[in-house]
Amino acid sequence: MIELPEAAVLAKQVNETVIGKRIRDVVAAKSPHKFAWYYGDPKTYRGMLAGKVMSTASAYGGLLEIAAPNFVLLFGDGVSLRFFEKGEKLPDKHQLWIEFEDSSSLVGAVQMYGGLWVFPAGGFDNKYYLIAKEKFSPLAEAFNGNYFNGLFDEKTEKLSLKAFLATEQRIPGLGNGVLQDILFNSKMHPKKKAGTLSEKDKEELFDSLKATLSRMVAYGGRDTESDLYGRQGGYKTILSRNTLDKPCPVCGTIIKKEVYMGGSIYFCSTCQKT
Ligand SMILES: [Zn+2]
């Protein structure tokens, strides 16, 4: 599942590779998928996009937005988006295939679930999208210590740090994947209650959040995800399915996994305190 770092990397790669290309053809919803979401009837996508030149790509949280004149393409966090040069073999199954005039392609395929939305600019009132666009990105300067401290209030006191960081779109794009290393680097357990954090703890969590996400972006996304060219990200996750049952890099304790709040958490029971 792509989250903030991978969406940022995809936006950069789309800007390097696809921008300026003119769309020749569009095939939407070729492979049936129960949990692929479209804007209106996907049969209208071709009419909206054919002949258009791709302009800027931007990441908002875990979403990737690509602008074409008067229209917007938006990919949700469960979509795998790949670029293929002319002559490269395309995947058999996909939910959106955009072919450019130079015969290269952009192909979107839904994994478990995901949105591939094409809509007239300004015409999509999806709440998740609007909130992701409106809030500060944790990578932005405006997301500073004061802003972060302002996210804590009476209602968040009883929340675990996992719930605090990764629900309610408090921080768009920060999901169950990236939060594991953010918490490891701040030496806090995912079940630690937000209300127990001292001012110094909040500072440490804020620093870890900024530094960990920046590193993930700098290294091209996490090694549990793929980029626009199908390459694994260069950021080596400390806590993920890749490191389960391996020793903690700091103290050597075996890394554990637990199911918690509808997803897996990974942690070092020695380094991370509740
Ligand atoms: Zn440890």
From ligand 1's centre to the CA of 210, what distance in Å?
A: 21
What is the pLDDT, as a whole number, of residue 1? Answer: 87
From ligand 1's centre to the CA of 191, what distance in Å?
A: 16
Picking from 260, 85, 247, 71, the residue whose alpha carbon sits closest to that of residue 180 is 260
Cα–Cα distances (Å) from 43 to 39, 54, 114, 188, in that order, read 10, 20, 18, 48
What is the pLDDT, as a whole number, of residue 262? Answer: 87
Contact present, 157 and 193 (Cβ < 8 Å): yes
From ligand 1's centre to the CA of 6, what distance in Å?
A: 26
What is the pLDDT, as a whole number, of residue 248? Answer: 98
- The secondary structure element, H or E, covering residue 119 is strand 114-120
Q: Which residue has the tokens 């405006």?
A: 142
From ligand 1's centre to the CA of 234, what distance in Å?
A: 22
* Helix (H), strand (E) counts: the chain: 7, 11
From ligand 1's centre to the CA of 178, what distance in Å?
A: 18
- Cα–Cα distance for residue pair 192/241, rounded to 1 Å: 21
From ligand 1's centre to the CA of 257, what distance in Å?
A: 14
What is the pLDDT, as a whole number, of residue 21? Answer: 97
Question: pLDDT per position in the chain (274 positions), as tens?
Answer: 899 999 999 999 999 999 999 999 999 999 999 999 999 999 999 999 999 999 999 999 999 999 998 999 999 989 999 999 999 999 999 999 999 999 999 999 998 999 999 999 999 999 999 999 999 999 999 999 999 999 999 999 999 999 999 999 999 999 999 999 999 999 999 999 999 999 999 999 999 999 999 999 999 999 999 999 999 999 999 999 999 999 999 999 999 999 999 899 999 999 999 9
**Phi, psi for residue 202 in degrees, rounded to 5:** -60, -40
- Cα–Cα distance for residue pair 75/117, rounded to 1 Å: 6
From ligand 1's centre to the CA of 226, what distance in Å?
A: 27
Sign of CA dihedral 219, 221, 223, 226: negative
Picking from 86, 99, 87, the residue whose alpha carbon sits closest to that of residue 45 is 99
Q: Which residue has the tokens 């969590």?
A: 205
From ligand 1's centre to the CA of 272, what distance in Å?
A: 7
- Cα–Cα distance for residue pair 163/265, rounded to 1 Å: 12
